[in-house]
Structure 1
Amino acid sequence: MRVDTNRSKIELLINQLDLNEHIEQFQSFFSREHSLYIEGDQELHFKYIKSLDKLEFKAPPKVSDFTNIKNHLKKHGVLNFEQIFEIVKVVRYFRYFKNRELDGIIGEWMSKFIIDVKFTEVEKYFTNDGKFEENLDETLFGLSARIQEHRNNMSGALKRMMSSSKLAGYLVDTQVHFINNEDCLLVRGGFNHVLKGAVVGRSTGGFFYVSPDSILKSKEQIRFIEQEREAIFYEYAKEFSAKLAELQPFINFIDKEFTKFDNYQARVLFAKSKNMQLVKSKNDSRIVLSGFVHPALHNAKPITVDFTKNILMITGVNAGGKTMLLKSILASAFMAKYIIPMKLDEHKSHIGSFKSVLAIIDDPQNVKNDISTFAGRMQEFSRIFSESKALVGVDEIELGTDSDEAAALFKVILDDLIKRGQKVVVTTHHKRLAALMADRDDVELMAAIYDEEQRKPTYEFMQGIIGKSYAFETASRYGINNAIVKEAKAVYGDNSEKLSLLIERGSQLERELKQKHKKVDDKLEELRLKELHIKETREKNLKELEEQKAALKRSYDVAISEAKSAAKAGDTKAIHRAMDKANKKLPPQKEELIKRHEKFKVGDSVKYHSQSGLIISMKGEKDATIEVDGMRVRVKTKHLKHTQIQKIKPKTDVKVQVEKKAGLKCDLHGMRADEACDELDKFISNALINGWDEIIIYHGIGTGKLSFAVKNFLIAHPSVKKFEDAPQHLGGFGAKIVTL
């Protein structure tokens, strides 16, 4: 019951702080459901998280909870294959990490996983996607082959029936229908003269869905075989469960360790996906935020705030971001408590630790509880008094009552909360309350800033001052008549205006100080940029060098591929054309900074990139045709350089022999199994020698013995990559397409 209460409090706080979407995205990175809080030593957990953050690794698979699995094993029950595979997934993932032979605490952690041989005997029967490896059991393999044979027979029988001249007059269409789990033909009345079978349904047009007797018999045989398979699967499940029951301590260990690892990896991968930082709360009550961005805001101005004192009082312009600043402070403390990634400058920020984070934000008044706003606020404050070492946020503390009375009341309330070890951040428009608290050493003032020139909030904050609400300006900005606003200012009075002037003067001084700070920061930034300039230049040069290397490699591969294609064509002219085409695919060279004035003429020995050649013709001064290794290439003269090699024209002597290659098909009809295997072995050898990578083998359907022998031979052959039944127009189940 207490766990449910705590969970509901956390869910309420997440909703109040506008963190719902952020937390949902974070929880989607878990492999299985967990609470946000990691039980145990938080310092140790954070150490593992930071170590894991330095690694690149694949996310673990989705895994179900082990509670039911472990209870079954305790009672010596039989697990199904799905439950067994859940354990296999976890062990395989830890083996993936263990095989990386990592250093540091992650490597030490992975070294603790010792996988028993009994487990590997179970694991080998499961594929990567959790299917049972039937090929490891000869009986299962044979049963699967029999099922496939029956299905092939059913398919063939249906096709023969549809092509039968006797049945043609009764067929409504030439499709195979699947009705009530049966393969059927749609026929007209009177079909029973030419077709024996069971009617399994009627169409809307009054026709009959009929499953032929031969199909029903085959299906019945398949059901019997499936029962045999299930019996074998159950025996395997019993055997596996018995072995896993002996490994219960190991299963308990990996279950517990995977829960910890899942908590770590979810935080690391979520932070990387959103470019966020991992921050843990410190062992004090200070809160210093630098560059913090609330996850609910898009394109927001980063928040910088120093909340080292007991009370932070936020005042200032309406709609200036006071409530979001309060939510940001509370949200940062909440996320640091649970080590949930956030966006901030982790090196300049410091977030303390609090037993609980509490928010009084919403208006508690509603019809159902028949309670006023102020009375509801008092109820919420009464609950806070029972807490200790909490971070409390109160939005619009004066909400719902007289301002002068509220100022005195809330001053005393805040004093009492501080005595109880609470840390409080409030937003208020109470100048009196702010004035009462301003002279205290444990109170920090902060004001939302208003842009006088543009007459709108800046969504920035200054510390150390009381901010003006700018109620009149806000009214004008949202459409209230200027005459009404002017009259309201007159009613407000001179004394109140003087107080506002004092507040504005303090704001002006603070702004001037901020501008001076900005100049200093700009100077520091300028120095930092100069310091990084050399490093960036070096990295840029290295990057360009790698790109040029990659470009040259790609150009080389293209040229080689084109040359090979030309050689296979058996045509010298085709070789030349291919080389020209390959040359055009080479990456363009950068223009030289200083223009060269070299002149070239026919007969000059030149160097083009890394190749030496001879100019055999010129077209103006900019284009030349050169001969390189017996091939002619048209190039720009700006890419040529003079060399000292002798002007000897290379001799081109290209001879291409194209052999007639063996056929692509092998017909084994009428052969015995041994004879067919010998013939198939010779055929595959000849196909490999002649360079074929795909062949077709005809073995027919018949009794299935020859098909079975061919299949086994292809499975065992080392040069066969894969094979499958041929398409219907190439022989269907009576032929195999083989990839070598």
Structure 2
Amino acid sequence: MLERVLNVLEFHKVKKQLEAHASSSLGLQVVEQLTPEHELSEVKRLQQETDEGANVLRLKGHAPFGGITDIRASLKRSEIGGMLNAKELIDIADTIRGTRLIKQFIEDIAQEEAIAIPALSDIVETIEPEGELERRIKSCIDDQGYVLDTASDKLRGVRTQIRTYDSRIKEKLEAIVRSSNYQKMLSESIVTIRNDRHVVPVKQEYRGVFGGIVHDQSASGATLFIEPQAIVDLNNKLSEARAKERHEVERILTDLSEGTAAAAFILYEHVERLAHLDFIFAKAKFGKSMKATRPVLNDNGNMNLKKARHPLIPSDDVMPIDIRLGDDYHAIIITGPNTGGKTVTLKTLGLLTLMAQSGLHIPVEEDSEINVFEAIFADIGDEQSIEQSLSTFSSHMTNIIGILSHVDHHSLVLFDELGAGTDPQEGAALSIAILDAVYNRGATVVATTHYSELKAYAYERAGVMNASVEFDVKTLRPTYRLLMGVPGRSNAFEISRKLGLNEEIIRQAKSHISSETNQVDKMIASLEKNRKEAEFMQQEAKRMKEDIEQKQKALAGELDQLERNKENVMNNAREKAQSAVDQAKEEAENIIRELRQFKSKSENVKEHQLIDAKSRLDHALDALTPNETKRESDPYKKKAETYKPGQEVKVISFGQKGHIVEKLSGNEYLVQVGIMKMNLPASDLKRVKAEKETKPVVNVRTANRTTKTELDLRGERYEDAMSKLEQYFDAALLAGYHQVSIIHGKGTGALRKGVQNFIKNHSRIKSSRLGGAGEGGSGVTVVELK
């Protein structure tokens, strides 16, 4: 039964295509023996192997099977004591080498961890190539099958003798043929070979001049091929040497054959594994050639083939179809006109099922699902087969009877033109009875028919679905699309009208059709119209969805670009601000060094020099203010101030001045800096004091009189206190004080911590301590200057 189904569904043609992808005769033999499996676990294993092979090809592009041949016949001869020839032995060595290469190839991929290949790894895991036998053979025989001189010392010596004797014989004969005394006696001035002996062609009448042995003569008898007496002994020695060579070569080949026989059991196993691997990669390459995918397998009756294509029909000539069976129904009745594609649909479903159960990937979209059946039966009308002739009703019934005797709930049954070939009324009734018998046994059934009675069959029985193949009346051509849920129409009247049949004849023909049939046809036509409208709306919705997704993607890209531009602007501003701060720091350090130098030679310093240096120092310190403030830790940050529109402020993060435009929600303000307007938090703003509030530059000349030895910071805001502290230390250093006191009070401790942090980072402060009992205690810090 299975063999007939394989032939009807043309599974052998699929195997023929698969054979073209085998890399060796080993894989070819496995393909020839390929038949579908029916156990779910076994089919999953086969599909897993094919999937791993496909992944390897996708990653590496090939698998190294070069040099591998079927050596099993040679192994068998070696086991029974036969001597293998050099060509057989070199094939064995090449196959061992190929085994080593394919094992290394798969192990390398497994170690890369780019893809998981557990099945392939298991196949090569126990392979241990017979490297010693390979090396022995390769050391004795070259790639052309010639036994090398180095195979043994004896062979080397014998071949040296052969070359010596051969050279001496040729020298003597060349002397004869070149001699002017002998040239007239020779038919030709050449040396040739007869019976593996060197001879010269001598004219018949000069036979007695040369003596020796006659080995041959020409057809006319005018020329004798004579081995001159002068070289008979040398030819004898050459023949003996060649006999020794043959014996030594045979000894070497026998020895290698015995080594092969000793490893034959292991080599048999390796060959079987190589054949299996070649078969796996052949399946993978075949799947790639037809853009196939791995189906999801089950044994619960579910079938969901998406965009399925018949593998034997060129992809440009076939319309992909969707076939679904399973949960709600496990029988489909396909109706429609002849040449509409019903049989192609039936064969597509059956052949893809056979392929999947053989471990082959199938030409469907990803995530297609297929059931693994224990048996597949088919009665397909041969009238639409490319290679078969017409069938009779009796042959169909004989086949159907055989199916009914074997079918069960694990079977897939395919009926093409069920009940055809007999009276329509009886054929329809018989078809319904056959479908009931198969359906009641739980089998999955797909049947095609012309009978209109079967269109109602699906509506009357739960679990049965109507379907049809679409036909374009305008072009009079089938579209090969399978329409689920819609029964088919014969379209005979429309086709006849399109072809030019008289309208009156068509009208009379319609009058012979029952009103029920006309109503059914109108209902089907309405269903087809509604379906086409629904498909159009679905395609339009899909197009709009794709358009919206593209626009969303474009907007997201633009938003990302804006964010990147914003970040670049902010980074550039920060870099510029940091650069300005770094320059200000360097300038401040230079000025301080100058001031120290002025102090060391104060008797020669002009007053305007000190004033200029102090002014430059103030500007440098002012440039440092934003970043210095920014680096303060959170506990010491000032409380956010409030600002009024028009008020001038400095933006701390940029070190630039601007003015308040308006107050926003929370503690944010809209600030204009140059031509830019920005939303900034109040914590990033600093009030710019009016001119009258700025403190006069300290007169350094009188610094020692105006600068006190203590600084009272109590009641000051943190930022102002740090500014005063910085200016005070500059003045104290200029005044030459060795010790000063900073009064910061006890309070929250924020001022004290700020003073101590400042002292730690000042290079001219030698030491510090809290005040003693009579000095103000922890509310005062006493500082010793360098």
> Structure 1 residues 523, 263: closer, same or farther in 2, change over 3 A?
farther
Q: Tell me the equivalent position of 2:763.
A: none
Q: Tell me the equivalent position of 2:462.
A: 441
User: Which is helix-richer, 1 or 2?
Assistant: 2
Q: Tell me the equivalent position of 1:402.
A: 423
Distance 1:176 1:530 in 2: 91
Q: Tell me the equivalent position of 1:110.
A: 124
Q: How many Å apart are 1:185 and its aligned residue?
A: 9.8
| Structure 1 counterpart SS, 2:456 | helix
Instruction: Give the letter for the 2:485 counterpart.
Output: G
Instruction: Give the letter for the 2:306 counterpart.
Output: S
Distance 1:231 1:511 in 2: 85
Q: Tell me the equivalent position of 1:457.
A: 478
Candidates 515, 518, 530, aligned match of 2:536: 515
Structure 1 gaps of 5+ residues are 537-740
Instruction: Give the letter for the 1:380 counterpart.
Output: N
Q: How many Å apart are 1:62 and its aligned residue?
A: 6.8
Q: How many Å apart are 1:94 and its aligned residue?
A: 2.7
Superposition pairs of residues 191-210 of structure 1, within 5 angstroms: 198-199=215-216, 202=219
Distance 1:111 1:377 in 2: 51
Q: How many Å apart are 1:337 and its aligned residue?
A: 0.6
Candidates 73, 76, 96, aligned match of 1:91: 96
Candidates 8, 26, 32, aligned match of 1:31: 26
Q: How many Å apart are 1:334 and its aligned residue?
A: 0.7
Candidates 323, 334, 355, aligned match of 1:305: 323
Distance 1:283 1:220 in 2: 80
Q: Residues 279 and 336 of structure 1 are in contact (CA less than 8 Å); yes or no, is this contact kept in structure 2?
A: yes
1:489 and 2:503 aligned:
no
1:255 and 2:274 aligned:
no
> Structure 1 residues 423, 146: closer, same or farther in 2, change over 3 A?
farther
Q: How many Å apart are 1:378 and its aligned residue?
A: 0.9
> Structure 1 residues 180, 141: closer, same or farther in 2, change over 3 A?
closer
Q: Tell me the equivalent position of 1:379.
A: 398
Distance 1:146 1:341 in 2: 63
Q: Residues 31 and 60 of structure 1 are in contact (CA less than 8 Å); yes or no, is this contact kept in structure 2?
A: no
Q: How many Å apart are 1:464 and its aligned residue?
A: 0.7
Q: How many Å apart are 1:438 and its aligned residue?
A: 3.4
Q: Tell me the equivalent position of 1:655.
A: none
- With CA pairs under 8 Å and 6+ residues apart, which has the higher RCO, 1 or 2? 2
Q: How many Å apart are 1:63 and its aligned residue?
A: 5.1
Q: Residues 283 and 353 of structure 1 are in contact (CA less than 8 Å); yes or no, is this contact kept in structure 2?
A: yes
Structure 2 gaps of 5+ residues are 111-115, 558-786
TM-score using structure 1 length: 0.58
Q: Tell me the equivalent position of 2:436.
A: 415
Instruction: Give the letter for the 1:258 counterpart.
Output: L
> Structure 1 residues 158, 373: closer, same or farther in 2, change over 3 A?
farther
1:43 and 2:41 aligned:
no
Q: How many Å apart are 1:397 and its aligned residue?
A: 1.5
Q: Tell me the equivalent position of 1:58.
A: 63
Q: Residues 90 and 258 of structure 1 are in contact (CA less than 8 Å); yes or no, is this contact kept in structure 2?
A: no
Q: Residues 468 and 503 of structure 1 are in contact (CA less than 8 Å); yes or no, is this contact kept in structure 2?
A: yes
Q: Tell me the equivalent position of 1:231.
A: 247
Distance 2:224 2:552 in 1: 84
Instruction: Give the letter for the 2:397 counterpart.
Output: M
> Structure 1 residues 248, 504: closer, same or farther in 2, change over 3 A?
same
Superposition pairs of residues 549-560 of structure 1, within 5 angstroms: none
> Structure 1 residues 359, 200: closer, same or farther in 2, change over 3 A?
farther
TM-score using structure 2 length: 0.55
Instruction: Give the letter for the 1:247 counterpart.
Output: A
Q: Tell me the equivalent position of 1:663.
A: none
Q: How many Å apart are 1:453 and its aligned residue?
A: 3.4
Q: Residues 472 and 485 of structure 1 are in contact (CA less than 8 Å); yes or no, is this contact kept in structure 2?
A: no
Q: Residues 186 and 208 of structure 1 are in contact (CA less than 8 Å); yes or no, is this contact kept in structure 2?
A: no
Q: How many Å apart are 1:108 and its aligned residue?
A: 5.7
> Structure 1 residues 460, 145: closer, same or farther in 2, change over 3 A?
farther
Q: How many Å apart are 1:213 and its aligned residue?
A: 3.6
Distance 1:138 1:164 in 2: 40
Q: How many Å apart are 1:353 and its aligned residue?
A: 0.6
Instruction: Give the letter for the 2:323 counterpart.
Output: V
When Rg is computed on C-alpha atoms for both structures, the one with the higher figure is 2
Which shows bigger deviation, 461-470 or 25-34?
Answer: 25-34
1:357 and 2:371 aligned:
no
Superposition pairs of residues 281-292 of structure 1, within 5 angstroms: 281-292=297-308
Q: How many Å apart are 1:404 and its aligned residue?
A: 1.9
Q: How many Å apart are 1:332 and its aligned residue?
A: 0.6
Distance 2:173 2:555 in 1: 77
Q: How many Å apart are 1:310 and its aligned residue?
A: 1.8
> Structure 1 residues 121, 89: closer, same or farther in 2, change over 3 A?
closer
Q: How many Å apart are 1:432 and its aligned residue?
A: 1.0
Distance 1:227 1:528 in 2: 86
| Structure 2 counterpart SS, 1:242 | helix
| Structure 2 counterpart SS, 1:99 | helix
Candidates 408, 411, 426, aligned match of 1:390: 411
Distance 2:502 2:170 in 1: 86
Q: Residues 393 and 424 of structure 1 are in contact (CA less than 8 Å); yes or no, is this contact kept in structure 2?
A: yes
Instruction: Give the letter for the 1:303 counterpart.
Output: I
Distance 1:152 1:530 in 2: 89
Distance 2:556 2:173 in 1: 74
Q: Tell me the equivalent position of 1:652.
A: none
> Structure 1 residues 108, 400: closer, same or farther in 2, change over 3 A?
closer
Per-residue CA deviations over 1:620-679 (Å, capped at 9, x if unaligned) read xxxxxxxxxxxxxxxxxxxxxxxxxxxxxxxxxxxxxxxxxxxxxxxxxxxxxxxxxxxx
Q: Residues 448 and 467 of structure 1 are in contact (CA less than 8 Å); yes or no, is this contact kept in structure 2?
A: yes
Q: How many Å apart are 1:191 and its aligned residue?
A: 9.0
Q: How many Å apart are 1:527 and its aligned residue?
A: 6.6
Distance 2:273 2:423 in 1: 57
Q: How many Å apart are 1:316 and its aligned residue?
A: 1.8
| Structure 1 counterpart SS, 2:63 | coil
Q: Tell me the equivalent position of 1:319.
A: 339
Q: How many Å apart are 1:328 and its aligned residue?
A: 0.8
Q: Residues 19 and 296 of structure 1 are in contact (CA less than 8 Å); yes or no, is this contact kept in structure 2?
A: yes
Instruction: Give the letter for the 2:97 counterpart.
Output: R
Superposition pairs of residues 644-659 of structure 1, within 5 angstroms: none
1:277 and 2:293 aligned:
yes
Distance 2:553 2:427 in 1: 55
Which shows bigger deviation, 281-290 or 57-66?
Answer: 57-66
| Structure 2 counterpart SS, 1:319 | coil
Per-residue CA deviations over 1:599-627 (Å, capped at 9, x if unaligned) read xxxxxxxxxxxxxxxxxxxxxxxxxxxxx
| Structure 2 counterpart SS, 1:459 | strand
Q: Residues 22 and 281 of structure 2 are in contact (CA less than 8 Å); yes or no, is this contact kept in structure 1?
A: no
Q: Tell me the equivalent position of 2:707.
A: none
> Structure 1 residues 152, 42: closer, same or farther in 2, change over 3 A?
farther
| Structure 1 counterpart SS, 2:319 | coil
Q: How many Å apart are 1:381 and its aligned residue?
A: 0.7
